C-alpha cells in the first residue's frame, strides 16, 4: 500500500506515487565490461601467445549476463529497510496543528504568518480546505530574489500552487520518509489521511528523531 501521494495542483486529484525513490539504472555486466576494461594489478606486462589463445576462446564462449544484472536491479529496488534503522512512524512525531493559508491570499500575509508563528513551511489550501501547495521560506526568498521588481503585497500565494505536492501517510516509516525527503529535496511534507490534511513533518523534525536515536561516544 503506497505511503506517498501526489496532489495535482488545482485539480484535487490524489494519486499514489508509483516509486518512492529513484533507483540507479545499472547497465548490464556486458556493457560495463565494454566501458571499463579490467587490468589485474598482479599480472605481469608480458605477452604469452598460448595464454592469449585460451583467453580468446574463453571470451568467445561467454554469454551476456543481462538477466543476472536485471535480477540484481530488482533485488536492489525491493530491498527492505533493516530493523536496526526503524525509528517509528510519522504519526508519532508530526505536528498535528497545521498552520495554513488560503491560495487567494497574498505573499505579504504569508510572510507575516510565518514570522508570527516562527515556522518555515506554510501549507496552502483552497476554499474547500484541500491541500494545493506548500510554501517554504527557501522558496519564498528565492522567488523574491528572482523577481526584484515585484512586491509581496502584489504577489498571490496562488503563484506557488503550480507544482505538484507530495504528501505522506500517517503510518509511513521515518526512515522511508527521510529517504524520500532527501531524494526529492524536501524541507517539509504534509501528512494526509484519506486525502484530508492531518499534519506536517519537517526535515528538522526528522533530524531530531535521528539524533535522539543515535548513540554518541562521549569519549571521542
Counting the structural domains of the chain, the total is 1
Residue 152 lies in a domain: yes
Cell reading at 91: 504519526
Residue 182 lies in a domain: yes
State the average pLDDT for the chain. Answer: 75
Residue 98 lies in a domain: yes
Question: By residue range, what is the domain housing residue 186?
Answer: 4-18+86-213
From residue 211, give the alpha-carbon distance in Å to each of 189, 205, 216. 20, 10, 9
CATH number of the domain to which 146 belongs: 3.10.580.10
Specify the range with the lowest mean pLDDT, choosing from 10-14, 78-82, 205-209.
78-82
216 — pLDDT class (breaks 50, 70, 90):
low
Residue 219 lies in a domain: no
Residue 39 lies in a domain: no
pTM: 0.64
Residue 135 lies in a domain: yes
Residue 167 lies in a domain: yes
Residue 173 lies in a domain: yes
Cβ atoms of 204 and 95 within 8 Å: the answer is no
Provide the H-helix boundaries in the chain. 29-35, 49-61, 66-77, 107-117, 137-146, 174-183, 203-213
Specify the range with the lowest mean pLDDT, choosing from 51-65, 80-94, 148-162.
51-65
Amino acid at each position: 500500500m503506497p505511503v506517498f501521494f501526489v496532489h495535482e495542483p488545482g485539480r484535487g486529484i490524489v494519486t499514489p506515487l508509483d516509486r518512492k525513490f529513484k533507483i540507479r539504472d545499472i547497465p548490464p555486466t556486458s556493457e560495463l565490461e565494454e566501458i571499463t576494461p579490467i587490468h589485474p594489478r598482479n599480472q605481469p606486462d608480458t605477452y604469452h601467445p598460448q595464454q592469449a589463445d585460451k583467453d580468446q576462446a574463453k571470451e568467445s564462449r561467454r554469454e551476456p549476463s543481462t538477466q543476472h544484472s536485471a535480477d540484481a536491479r530488482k533485488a536492489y529496488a525491493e530491498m527492505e529497510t533493516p530493523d536496526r534503522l526503524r525509528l517509528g512512524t510519522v504519526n508519532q512525531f508530526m505536528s498535528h496543528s497545521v498552520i495554513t493559508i488560503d491560495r487567494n491570499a497574498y505573499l505579504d500575509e504569508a510572510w507575516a504568518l510565518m514570522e508570527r508563528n516562527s515556522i518555515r513551511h506554510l501549507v496552502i489550501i483552497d476554499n474547500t480546505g484541500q491541500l494545493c501547495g506548500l510554501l517554504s521560506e527557501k522558496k519564498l526568498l528565492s522567488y523574491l530574489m528572482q523577481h526584484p521588481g515585484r512586491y509581496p503585497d502584489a504577489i498571490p500565494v496562488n503563484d506557488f500552487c503550480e507544482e505538484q505536492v507530495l504528501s505522506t501517510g500517517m503510518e509511513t516509516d521515518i526512515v522511508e520518509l527521510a529517504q524520500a525527503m532527501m531524494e526529492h529535496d524536501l524541507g517539509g511534507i504534509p501528512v494526509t489521511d484519506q486525502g484530508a490534511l492531518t499534519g506536517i513533518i519537517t526535515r528538522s523534525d526528522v533530524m531530531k528523531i535521528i539524533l535522539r536515536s543515535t548513540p554518541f561516544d562521549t569519549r571521542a
